[in-house]
Chains A and B, each alone.
Chain A
Amino acid sequence: MAHRHEVIVVGAGGAGLATALYAAREGADVAVVSKLYPTRSHTGAAQGGIGAALGNVEEDHWEWHMFDTIKGGDYLTDQDAAEVFAKEVIEAVLELEHMGLPFDRLPNGRIAQRRFGGHTKDWGKAPVHRAAHAADRTGHMILQTLYQQCVKHNITFYNEFHVTDVILEDGVAKGLVAYELATGELHLFQAKAFVIASGGFGRIYKVTSNAYTLTGDLQAILYRKGLPLEDMEFYQFHPTGLYPLGILLTEGARGEGGILRNALGERFMERYAPTIKDLAPRDMVSRAMYLEVREGRGVGPKKDHVLLDLTHLPPEVIEKKLPDITEFSRIYLGVDPLKEPVPVMPTAHYAMGGIPTTLWGQVIQDEKNTVVPGLYAAGEAACVSLHGANRLGTNSLGDLVVFGRRAGIHAARFAKDADYHELTEEHLGESRERIERIKASTGKEKVAVLRAELQQTMMDNASVFRTGELLAKQVEILKELMERYRHISIEDKGEVYNTELVEALELGYLLEVAEALVHSALNRTESRGAHAREDYPERDDQNWLKHTLAYKVADGKVAFRYKPVVLGRFEPKARTY
């Protein structure tokens, strides 16, 4: 079956819905294709807040937010992106409020704001109240509000459609192919502009805050087609994953006064970040936690985690401002945060890297910023690069509204002057073959087994701390897993809700993005932000103040090009907190 819309957005999370909404407001006929139902996307799991220099609680300036973002990104952040972002996120938060988002309020009726990691006043002197929030379910509110607006604007949704192919010919994006889960049919989508907003890929790791469905599908599809992935070596581990499940506990818990403690009861962050302590950026806190455990100060029978202590906070602060994480701890661990500290350990959380784009979300294909006409990306799937080597807490929600809006506006304007491209049934061929091959296979390999091996080895060899030796080992493991992936088979040969087939396709994507990540990490011989090489412990601006562009040559073979970092207002300096 074929469908035609002027702008088609892939993904119905915050970035996808923001894109769709602003494209529709520009007058475009917009459709959203998502492998989930709307409001199931993982933006809904974001908790703590959306950072914007509103200055509602205390003095704040967009320039401070810009500086914090760049320093938080260990100076790999493109400074033009940070400037656009820090200015526009203020307007974006106000627009969300105008759309009805139920932010918490201050006594004077203004939007309430809380402290968050790495967000400071006066160029790093002390933490600042910048994160606008709605209890600890800010992402849920953003997702719901944007979906409500999409309903209001009559935007078309193709729910539970898995994109299996992006048709790129003559350097232009011409169409999409998607597999409809309810029927097993392949659909052809024709549009003038396509926006990729399909989220991240935390499921390459065993312990992750990410949904089961975050498997990097579109990053992998474009990477297979020869487009580059940028800065894939920078993957964020959020410090406070509920141990051992990895469920997110917001940094807002520390913003409200929570403290991390080791087995000796020490507030160990005082040693690693004397000024802002527990509110240091996530990469630093995660490393500190790993070091505490490594040096024998971990908690529990295996001494393999630390504690998040909220017991000194007034009970009403915990119940009112952090209700969801309190419930998670009670349900999944039987631990009441009011009475005892909560076991935590870093959890795979966010990809700073992804599909490279311009400031308007246009996908670029090389270090000269050559645009792929008609193709856009936004949100976690994209790399603009706002977050550099390490994203600050709350900046993902800001990113998806600011750059989703920009991508939507630009895509709609582009579509006005563009034409549709001819598509034929033949364009379904590659997807059909891939699906039929998996269904017909009698191979001995199982999806769940390969996936578990991928997730465990990525955890062991390519997570918070890295070495050349372990990364090289992981390169070989991935090669072997890719070979074995050719021999997977599935039991379900049906057409209706064949979720086993979908999981098989997703595993293929996970392997691709893991390959891009591990090769990029092995290639970058320095430590910067979330990429911590024990064999190269220093940041090396001389050689590595540049973005990685990873191109797939063949399975196990990756080529690199480099894009300069956009500097400007802030000179790279040592990063201390």
Chain B
Amino acid sequence: MQVTLKILRFDPAKHEKPTWQTYQVEAEPWDRVLDLLHKVKADQDGTLAFRRSCGHGICGSDAMLINGRNRLACKTLVKDLGSLITVEPIRGLPVEKDLVVDMEPFFAAYRAVKPYLINDEPPPARERLQSPEERERFDHGTKCILCASCTTSCPVFWVNGTYLGPAAIVQAHRFIFDSRDRGKRERFKALGSGSGVWRCRTAYNCTEACPREIPVTQLIEEVKRAILWDRF
């Protein structure tokens, strides 16, 4: 089938602002949007820039705004989009070139929640014990691939770039609810601050955007409650 692919292009050396460019691409219904981008780059315009690595939704490189929704280009098939496909960079992070954005603010928020197990007790000779139920409690957050689909679909993040954003809160949740962790108070400092969880307006965009089907909004609410209960 013939697909019309519209891509929002930007090259800081050539453009003052992003401009749409349209390409006609021969595609199979089961092709990934990533395959189409590769075809454009190979056959029509070698200057097109985008990130990709694993090609099957595990590495988190190729989050893009595709037909108005944040998705991974390698996990979105032509058959689910039809013959007119628009691709733009994810929103709220500075565009460096074409579909490539500056990820540093995103990773800065990630680092701010102390995304690592905090537990200074000397570990046992064997593994720390954890019941399957305790393990299940924080399972959702462990699926996160840090693709930024959630954070860059959040209207609060768009207008206030200092908001930690859904992805960082998901990472915090993963540790706060891990029975082995002792660091929740340290994390609550950043999470309870003006740029923390209270910014969330439960728009649910994040939950809809997550390519890993993490119930992001629910996890944010659970972190809010954990902070509240901790005050009593």
Main SS of chain A's interface residues? loop
Interface locus among A37-45, A293-301, A403-411, A569-577? A37-45
Residues of A within 8 A of B75 (CB): 331
CA distance A492 to B114 in the complex (A): 40
Q: Are A137 and B143 CB-contacts (below 8 A) given A211-B55, A491-B45, A497-B49?
A: yes
Main SS of chain B's interface residues? loop
Interface band, chain B: 35 or more
Residues of A within 8 A of B53 (CB): 36, 40-42, 211-213
Residues B126 and A94 in contact, CB atoms below 8 Å apart: yes
Residues of A within 8 A of B46 (CB): 490-492, 500
Indicate if A556 sits at the interface (CB-CB under 8 A): no
CA distance A507 to B178 in the complex (A): 44
Residues B116 and A148 in contact, CB atoms below 8 Å apart: yes
CA distance A37 to B97 in the complex (A): 16
CA distance A481 to B112 in the complex (A): 49
Most chain A CB within 10 A, of B123, B139, B142, is at B142
Residues A140 and B47 in contact, CB atoms below 8 Å apart: no
Q: Are A149 and B116 CB-contacts (below 8 A) given A36-B61, A45-B56, A182-B96?
A: yes
Least CB distance, B215 to chain A, in whole angstroms: 15
Residues A494 and B111 in contact, CB atoms below 8 Å apart: no
CA distance A100 to B96 in the complex (A): 35
Q: How many A-B residue pairs have CB under 8 A?
A: 146
Residues of B within 8 A of A99 (CB): 116-117
Residues of B within 8 A of A103 (CB): 127, 135
A41, A213, A331, A494: the one within 8 Å of B13 (CB): A494
Least CB distance, A456 to chain B, in whole angstroms: 15
Residues of B within 8 A of A496 (CB): 11-13, 49, 96-97
Residues B117 and A148 in contact, CB atoms below 8 Å apart: yes
CA distance A164 to B49 in the complex (A): 20
Interface locus among A104-112, A356-364, A469-477? A104-112
Residues B117 and A41 in contact, CB atoms below 8 Å apart: no
Which chain B residue shows the least CB distance to A94?
B127
Indicate if A418 sits at the interface (CB-CB under 8 A): no
B13, B60, B117, B174: the one within 8 Å of A39 (CB): B60
Residues A39 and B146 in contact, CB atoms below 8 Å apart: yes
A134, A332, A447: the one within 8 Å of B56 (CB): A332
Residues 491-510 of A at the B interface (beta carbon under 8 Å): 491-492, 494-500
Q: Which 5 A-B pairs have the closest CB atoms?
A: A100-B117, A109-B129, A448-B42, A491-B46, A148-B116
Selected A-B contacts with CB under 8 Å, 19 pairs: A40-B61, A45-B54, A45-B59, A97-B127, A98-B128, A99-B117, A100-B175, A100-B181, A151-B111, A152-B114, A182-B96, A213-B53, A247-B55, A331-B75, A446-B42, A490-B46, A492-B47, A494-B13, A494-B97
Using CB atoms and an 8 Å cutoff, list the residues of chain A in contact with chain B. Answer: 36-37, 39-42, 44-45, 94, 97-100, 102-111, 134, 137, 140-141, 144, 148-149, 151-152, 182, 211-213, 245, 247, 324, 328, 331-334, 446-448, 490-492, 494-500
Using CB atoms and an 8 Å cutoff, list the residues of chain B in contact with chain A. Answer: 11-13, 30, 41-43, 45-47, 49-50, 52-61, 75, 77, 96-98, 100, 103, 107, 110-111, 114-117, 119, 123, 126-132, 134-135, 138-139, 142-143, 145-146, 174-175, 178, 180-181
Q: A39-B60, A496-B49, A496-B97 are in contact. List 4 more A-B contacts (CB 8 A).
A: A45-B54, A134-B142, A148-B116, A497-B49
